[in-house]
Structure 1
Amino acid sequence: MNAFVARSLDEIRFWSRIMKEHSLFLRLGFRSEDTQLIQEANGFYSLFEQIEAKSHAFSAATAPEQIRAFNVEVHQAASHIWVFKRTVLGLILTCKLPGANNFPLLVDHVSREANYFRNRLSELNNGQLEPLADAIIDENVFFLKIMADHAKFIGHLLDPSERKLVDQAREFSHDFDQLLWQAQDLSSMRPQSQTQPLLSQFLDQNRVSVASLRDFKKTARDLIEACRVKSIIHPLLADHVYREAERFLAIIDMFENCLTGKTAANQNAWH
């Protein structure tokens, strides 16, 4: 199995679906008169739906050159949706979309994920993945912020009368803000902080909180799908944030295996 091909396809299959769903969520938040923005969002939905389907037509046996070209194609699409998202954010922050229902933090959030996606494709194509210790810190800083945002979105999109669930979401928001600040502190202490014991404890602590948030998201998703909770959360959004928590947990486990020697890792290919 070619590791470059397998990793590229894994990233594209996961993130192209995420980008496709972002297009839907943004469209749902636009006003009926925002016809140009709605049309652009629909175009991105179709584009990433095609990319997602194409990624499943490839396999680990596909020639690396073919996947490298595919990565360039997807990188371009990710760059275009990033520009669209930042444009929408600018319109919201300058009060040019009054009455629309996309939170500025949500639009910033989805743009950060598009930027992460395109950067990962560039790293894979250039063969310049970060060394393990740097990757552990940087990936956790990125995903802890994503998880903290998710908790805030859930708390704001649940009906205010769902007091218990709203309180739980706020507790998760606080927990992940604390974890994010700790991760940023560990980052600023580099390279002295990059010892095996500190990185291992870092991963262990984050895993516990991410697993708890993942379970909360699963419960919320199931309640929303069964129409047992009052909210304005789209069922697909509930599943979307659950899948991202699952992704983060898989990355934490992969890092732990690399750190403890259970999985072969070198300076240029930590995953």
Structure 2
Amino acid sequence: MANAIVARSLDEIKFWSRIMKEHALFLSLGFTHEQKQLITEAQQFITVFERIEEKLSKFTVNSDLRQIQAFNREVFQAAASIWQYKRKVLGLTLRCEIRSNNFPLLVDHISREAAYFANRLKELNEGKLVPKPEAIIEENVFFLRIMADHAKFIGHLLDPSERKLVEQAREFSHDFDQLVFQAVDLESMRPQSETGPILSQFLNQNKVSVASLRDFKKTARELIEACRIKSIIHPLLADHTFREAERFLEIIDLFEASLE
């Protein structure tokens, strides 16, 4: 059990620390020239998570559990801090105290991911490795909403002349909104649906949809990197959303294994 928690902790930190670092970069690129203080703060978070990645490289799956728990607490503080920063930026945006090129929904989206990361570290330090069935549904709600957001962002950041791709992004947005509503419905039907074929079918349906979106993101990333489509999507952002879809598929596999 201890080794499993160590391995899972290192995996979560490896994946999400890179995501947090990239969030800080994307925010900094979206601010206007006069928003120097917010840009500086974003760049400081890039440094924070780069240091975490450096420290992470010194641990292995055979590291002492107590050392990993201490590291988890350290990273938790960084995740909580960047969450606070993101919520501050969102508040400034919604009150029209700043005007930037960062969509309010995007800032909310990345703050939800920071909260998720912090919560995962807290759960691991509490010894919670395998989620209960109701937590599986909740986590799917979280990730399905993330996927729906990605489709919306892609649709809005593609050049309007890319009509076919914009329409595809809109279709994915609609499909994942429906999956979110379906997951919320299933969540409210507990405890009857906590176990059995309904939950397995739910996961399988999500896997098929996420794999389709993942493939769309992969194609978009390749086209953006090759400068074959018109958009204002940063190549790293395209890769970022692709990796998050891959992550969701890995998590669905873990959930399915826990139900067997």
* TM superposition score category, shorter chain reference: over 0.9
Look up the match of 1:256. 256
Q: Which residue of 1 aligns with 2:154?
A: 154
The whole-number CA distance in structure 1 between the counterparts of 2:237 and 2:102 is 13
C-alpha distance after superposition, 1:70-124 (max 9, x if no partner) = 00100000000000000000000000112x1000000000000000000111111
The residue identity in structure 1 corresponding to 2:204 is: D
Match of 1:135 in 2: 135
Q: Distance in 1 between matches of 2:87 and 2:18?
A: 19
Q: Report whether the alignment pairs 1:84 with 2:75.
A: no
Q: 1:59 maps to which residue?
A: 60
* Worse-matched range after superposition: 249-258 or 100-109: 249-258
Is residue 240 of structure 2 the alignment partner of residue 240 of structure 1?
yes
Which amino acid is 1:105 matched to?
L
| Match in the other structure for 2:228 | 228
Measure the CA separation in 2 of the matches of 1:80 and 1:66.
Answer: 21
What is the CA-CA distance between 1:55 and the residue it aligns to?
1.1
Q: Distance between the aligned counterparts of 1:131 and 1:7, measured in 2?
A: 13
TM-score normalised according to structure 2 size: 0.98
- C-alpha separation between the residues in 1 aligned to 2:195 and 2:135? 13
Q: Report runs of 4+ in structure 1 exceeding 2 Å deviation.
A: 128-132
In structure 2, what is the Cα distance between the partners aligned to 1:72 and 1:81? Answer: 14
Give the gaps of 5 or more residues in structure 2. Answer: none
Q: CA deviation at 1:195?
A: 2.6
Corresponding letter in the other structure for 1:102: N
- TM superposition shift of 1:223: 0.2
Cα distance in 1 for partners of 2:234, 2:223 equals 12
1:122-154 residue CA offsets vs partner (Å, 9 max, x unmatched): 111112456431222011011000000000000
In the TM superposition, what whole-angstrom CA distance separates every residue of 1:210-248 from its partner, at most 9, and x where no partner exists? 000000000000000000000000000000000000000
Q: Is the Cα–Cα contact under 8 Å of residues 155 and 169 in structure 2 kept in the other structure?
A: yes
Aligned to 1:30: 31
Question: Mapping of 1:1-271 within 5 angstroms?
Answer: 2-98=3-99, 100-129=100-129, 131-260=131-260
Contact 1:5/1:64 (<8 A) preserved: yes
Using the TM superposition, give the Cα deviation of residue 54 of structure 1 relative to its aligned residue in structure 2, in angstroms. Answer: 1.4
Is the CA contact (8 Å cut-off) linking 1:13 and 1:56 kept in structure 2? no
Shift of 1:32: 0.5
Contact 2:5/2:129, CA 8 A, preserved across alignment: no
Alpha-carbon offset, residue 203 of structure 1:
0.5
Q: Which moved more, 1:53-62 or 1:162-171?
A: 53-62
Query: Aligned partner of 2:231: which letter?
Result: S
**Counterparts of 2:50 and 2:111 in 1: how far apart (Å)?**
18
- Structure 1: 5+ residue stretches without partners: 261-271
* Equivalent-residue separation in structure 2 for 1:143 and 1:120 (angstroms): 14
Shift of 1:52: 1.5
User: Aligned letter for 1:138?
Assistant: E
In 2, are the aligned partners of 1:141 and 1:183 still within 8 Å (CA)? yes
Deviations 1:151-184 (A, max 9, x none): 0000000000000000000000000000000000
What is the identity percentage for the equivalent residue pairs of Structure 1 and Structure 2? Answer: 72
2:142 & 2:217 partners in 1: Cα distance? 19
Please tell me the residue identity of whatever aligns with 1:82: W
What is the TM-score of this pair, normalised by structure 1? 0.94
Deviates more, 1:133-142 or 1:240-249: 133-142
Q: Is the 8 Å Cα contact of residues 207 and 252 (structure 1) preserved in structure 2? A: yes
Distance 1:177 1:56 in 2: 38
Separation in structure 2 between the aligned mates of residue 97 and residue 164 of structure 1, nearest angstrom:
33
Q: Relative to structure 2, which stretch is displaced further, 50-59 or 210-219?
A: 50-59
* 1:53 CA drift (Å): 2.0
